[in-house]
């Protein structure tokens, strides 16, 4: 059978004719167009039973619609009429899937046709009809269900064979494949008949769940259809804007005159071929390379929201809004093509009526996808990660005619913004493509959203722009995009770190404050360095808050030390609240005793047993205690510790290692250290503190004493949530919860949020 694929213009461009207005002839040629005369398919508890695998569709031959076998012979389909609000039992397990509540014009308690299953069932009009010569528009309302998705973008691919089929087998079928999800959409099929024609109307759609259709409408206008010619006129004007060719201008004017005074349908075809010929001649005569995207490619950036007139390969992708925010500034418009799974992913478009010459196709791609030109894949591939890079093909010498273009990959990928260039020689074509790539990159590097990218990525891109390799420029653009967030994070961290000074945090460690100042004054030169420094700043600022809140004299903390039984190693043996292995109470010699704050020594400590400080490596030492009665919140735990050189001791909270203390020398009074760890307790459940050797070493002598446990107020997890605002007439508190009447510059709590006062 012969299939006729028609290209349609949108909105007011439909059916521009010289002689007549469109008239509604639905009732004359389509029986039961709204399915109101059909009985409702079998229902149980108000749910239409259309189990796809049952393959038991309802035939309505006496009501104008005769069921034919599955459109492609699939074993997974079903069909029948339902009443609004529509609920369909798609499978034996999925009952009550909800379709539209009302029809396309909000009518309630009426009927519609439903198709279920991963493939299509097909209905044809029972009786043949003969349509007079002229132009027709068949409108079908479609509501496609996509497994609960409510995104209104057209993401549902269907098996579409809706239209008019003549008795000789000629098909005038829809080319629309993508429909809105969970919302009414419109399919329009344009039919051009140059003589009276006999045939039948048919409907068939299919998606992975179900499709509802309703209210078919057929409109007729006697006369000549000029829509396709107007489409070519638009392309010719776009080309002549670049060429300013007088012969092409004359051909355009002649075509426009014909549109205003059409003769017959054959003359439309002649005018189209004449205009395309004039476009080809004008291109062949040009001495300069030309961007012919607007003149020859259709829907090059997918802003129609659909794939048309591109066609999928063996697998189906979607036209969608990009999810990854990295790519948003780099794509053109709102939509991209996306394949989400690996496989033979491909989509193409056939460009017609091209003259002989050199061609170059490029596009924005990711995930190592390649462009296709004249059935050949490009060796210059796309970007990695979620970002786009413009893939530029080597110039192709083409003999003229129809050319297939597109993109493909064996992995999931995205594509956007195709461009097609033409020239009579290869060198000028490469120069034009390079100029276009440089213009893209110049616009990106001047964009204010990249102002914080000050390292190698900006330098590399600037240097690439001085060169002649478009592929290198594209790669540097890709790196420039990936660097943006890392540099922004660093600048944000620097701003938030400004209040972390000795004046605002007098009890914090000097070395931590010095680290913050060093990081603030540093200049990262790579994406990785910017991210690392931002992470270090966040961690250091949190440490300052913890260190400052922990020290004596600071208000706001709650002392839970007494909840730890025998926290100070008192008595002659380890308290039963502790579970210990190879540990003991040690009243050790003065040179190993823990120094008190008043300068005296405390010689009763926890430590390894006397027999354990030998070369016995077959056993380990550990001690733990489970504590109850602690609320959720942020905590710090301090422990006085000492160990032989290179002996690591793990400090665990609920079996999660929070820190490792490693001995630094001989076991003497001078080698005691106060180890402080912080942690967050998510709930009011019990808490287990455990100390243990974390690896085997020869000498395993180690000691600890003087546990201290505090709950801290308002300890931030990071500084990314710190915001800046001027002083306002709200109650202001410092980080210890004290109200401040006249705050100086620094970090405070205002309205329950951390803010920096300027």
- pLDDT, tens only, 521-574: 999 999 999 999 999 998 898 888 777 766 655 556 788 999 999 999 988 899
- pLDDT per residue over 358-413, tens digit each? 999 988 888 778 899 987 766 556 555 556 777 776 788 999 999 999 999 998 88
Tokens at residue 257, please?
Answer: 């005159």
Looking at per-residue pLDDT, the higher value among 592 and 68 belongs to: 592
Confirm whether 278 is domain-assigned.
Answer: yes
**DSSP run (H or E) holding 651:** strand 648-653
Task: Quote the tokens at residue 443.
Answer: 């616009």
Return d(Cα 482, Cα 329) in angstroms, integer.
12
- Identify the weakest region by mean pLDDT among 104-108, 343-347, 525-529, 670-674: 104-108
Domain termination residue (choose one: 237, 262, 286)? 286
Task: Classify residue 743: in a domain, yes or no.
Answer: no
Statement to judge: residues 202 and 244 lie in one domain: no
What are residue 401's DSSP bridge partners?
354
- Of the pLDDT bands very low, low, confident and very high (cuts 50, 70, 90), residue 128 is very high
Mean pLDDT of the chain: 83
Same domain for 357 and 275? no
213 with 269, same domain: the answer is no
Can you tell me the distance from the alpha carbon of 211 to that of 309, in angstroms, rounded to the nearest whole number?
Answer: 22
DSSP secondary structure letter of residue 123? E
Q: Above 90 in pLDDT, residue 332? A: no
Better pLDDT: 387 or 514: 514
| Count of structural domains, the chain | 4
CA distance 653 to 677: 10
Of the residues 197, 221, 245, the one at which a domain ends: 221
Same domain flag for 174 and 41: yes
What does residue 249 show for φ and ψ, rounded to 5 degrees?
-60, -40
CATH number assigned to the domain comprising residue 159 = 2.60.120.260
Domain for residue 433, yes or no?
no
* Residue 528 forms part of a structural domain: no
* Same-domain status, 257 and 308: no
Determine the Cα–Cα distance for residues 647 and 666; give it in Å rounded to an integer: 11
Residue 337 located in a structural domain = yes
Identify the domain boundary among 393, 425, 457.
425
With b for 16 or more beta-carbon neighbours within 10 A and e for fewer, the 444-459 pattern comes to bbeeeebebbbbbbbe
Residue 494, pLDDT > 70, answer: yes
**Do the beta carbons of residue 98 and residue 87 sit within 8 Å?**
yes
Q: Is residue 180 located within the same domain as residue 311?
A: no
What number is the average pLDDT over the span 155-181? 82
Least confident of 154-158, 218-222, 701-705, 741-745: 154-158
pLDDT above 80 (res 327): no
Q: What is the Cα–Cα distance from 32 to 688, expressed in whole angstroms? A: 75
Mean pLDDT value across residues 667-679: 86
Determine the structural domain holding residue 322 and report its residue range: 295-425
Structure tokens belonging to residue 559? 């002392």
Whether residues 277 and 299 fall in one domain: no
Residues 260, 212, single domain; the answer is: no
232 and 206 co-located in one domain: no
pLDDT of residue 55: 81
| 344 found inside a domain | yes
Give the model's confidence band at 19: pLDDT under 50 very low, under 70 low, under 90 confident, else very high.
very low
Identify whether residues 64 and 189 lie together within a single domain. Answer: yes
- Prediction pTM value: 0.52
Using pLDDT thresholds of 50, 70 and 90, give the confidence band for residue 718: very low
Residue 152 has pLDDT above 80, yes or no: no
CA–CA gap between residue 578 and residue 567 (Å, rounded): 10
* Residue 33 shares a structural domain with residue 120: yes
217 and 239 inside one domain: no
Average the pLDDT over 17-22 and give the result.
Answer: 50
State the DSSP code for 263: -
- The verdict on residue 580 lying in a domain is yes
pLDDT at 222: 72
| DSSP code, position 87 | E
* Residue 701: both structure tokens together: 């002598």
Asked whether residue 466 is domain-assigned, the answer is no
């Amino acid at each position: 059978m012969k299939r006729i694929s028609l290209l349609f213009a949108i909105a007011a461009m439909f059916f521009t004719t010289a002689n007549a207005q469109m008239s509604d002839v639905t009732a004359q040629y389509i029986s039961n167009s709204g399915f109101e005369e059909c009985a409702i398919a079998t229902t149980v508890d108000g749910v239409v039973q259309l189990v796809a695998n049952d393959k038991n569709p309802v035939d309505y031959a006496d009501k104008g619609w005769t069921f034919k076998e599955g459109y492609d012979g699939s074993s997974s389909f079903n069909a029948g009429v339902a009443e609004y609000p529509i609920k369909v039992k798609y499978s034996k397990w999925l009952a009550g899937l909800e379709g539209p509540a009302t029809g396309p014009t909000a009518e309630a308690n009426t009927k519609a046709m439903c198709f279920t299953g991963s493939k299509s069932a097909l209905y044809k009009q029972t009786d043949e009809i003969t349509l007079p010569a002229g132009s027709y528009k068949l409108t079908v309302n479609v509501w496609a269900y996509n497994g609960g998705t409510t995104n209104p973008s057209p993401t549902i691919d269907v098996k579409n064979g809706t239209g008019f089929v003549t008795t000789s087998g000629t098909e005038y079928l829809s080319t629309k494949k993508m429909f809105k999800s969970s919302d009414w959409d419109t399919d329009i099929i344009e039919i051009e008949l140059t003589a009276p024609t006999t045939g039948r109307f048919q409907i068939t759609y299919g998606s992975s769940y179900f499709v509802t259709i309703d209210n078919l409408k057929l409109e007729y206008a006697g006369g000549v259809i000029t829509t396709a010619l107007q489409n070519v006129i638009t392309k010719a004007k776009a080309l002549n804007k670049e060429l300013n060719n007088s012969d092409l201008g004359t051909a355009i004017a002649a075509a426009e005159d014909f549109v205003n005074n059409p003769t017959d349908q054959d003359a439309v075809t002649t005018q189209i071929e004449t205009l395309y010929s004039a476009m080809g001649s004008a291109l062949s005569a040009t001495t300069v390379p030309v961007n012919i995207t607007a003149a020859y490619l259709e829907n090059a950036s997918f802003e129609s929201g659909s794939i048309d007139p591109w066609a999928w390969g063996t697998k189906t992708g979607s036209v969608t809004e990009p999810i990854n925010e990295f790519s948003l500034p780099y794509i053109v418009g709102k939509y991209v093509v996306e394949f989400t799974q690996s496989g033979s992913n491909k989509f193409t478009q056939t460009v017609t009526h091209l003259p002989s010459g050199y061609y170059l196709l490029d596009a924005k791609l990711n995930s190592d996808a390649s462009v296709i030109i004249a059935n050949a894949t490009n060796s210059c591939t796309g970007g990695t990660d979620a970002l786009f890079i413009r893939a530029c093909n080597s110039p192709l010498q083409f003999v003229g005619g129809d050319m297939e273009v597109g993109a493909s990959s064996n992995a999931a990928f995205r594509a956007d913004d195709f461009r097609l260039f033409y020239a009579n020689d290869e060198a000028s074509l490469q120069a034009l493509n390079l100029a276009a790539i440089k213009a893209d990159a110049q616009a990106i590097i001047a964009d204010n959203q990249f102002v914080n990218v000050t390292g190698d990525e900006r330098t590399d891109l600037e240097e690439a722009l001085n060169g002649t390799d478009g592929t290198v420029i594209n790669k540097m653009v890709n790196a420039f995009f990936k660097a943006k967030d890392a540099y922004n994070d660093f600048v944000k961290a620097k701003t938030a770190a400004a209040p972390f000074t000795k004046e605002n945090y007098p009890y914090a460690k000097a070395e931590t404050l010095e680290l913050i100042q060093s990081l603030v004054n540093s200049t990262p030169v790579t994406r990785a360095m910017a991210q690392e420094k931002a992470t270090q700043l966040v961690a250091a600022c949190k440490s300052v808050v913890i260190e400052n809140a922990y020290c004596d004299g600071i208000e706001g903390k709650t002392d839970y030390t007494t909840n730890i039984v025998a926290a100070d190693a008192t008595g002659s043996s380890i308290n039963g609240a502790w579970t210990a292995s190879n540990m003991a109470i040690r009243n050790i010699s003065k040179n190993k005793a823990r120094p008190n704050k008043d300068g005296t020594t405390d010689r009763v400590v926890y430590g390894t047993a006397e027999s354990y400080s030998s070369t016995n490596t077959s056993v380990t030492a550990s001690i733990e205690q489970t504590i109850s009665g602690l609320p959720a919140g942020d905590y710090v735990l301090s422990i006085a510790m000492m160990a032989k050189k290179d002996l690591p001791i793990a400090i665990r909270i609920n079996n999660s290692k929070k820190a490792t203390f490693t001995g630094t020398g001989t076991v003497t009074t001078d080698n005691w250290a106060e180890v402080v760890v912080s942690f967050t307790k998510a709930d009011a459940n019990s808490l287990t503190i455990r100390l243990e050797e974390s690896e085997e070493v020869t000498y395993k002598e180690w000691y600890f004493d003087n546990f201290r446990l505090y709950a801290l107020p308002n300890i931030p997890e990071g500084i990314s949530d710190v915001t800046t605002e001027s002083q306002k007439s709200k109650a202001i508190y410092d980080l210890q919860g004290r109200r401040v009447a006249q705050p100086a510059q620094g970090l405070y709590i205002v309205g329950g949020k951390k803010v920096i006062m300027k």
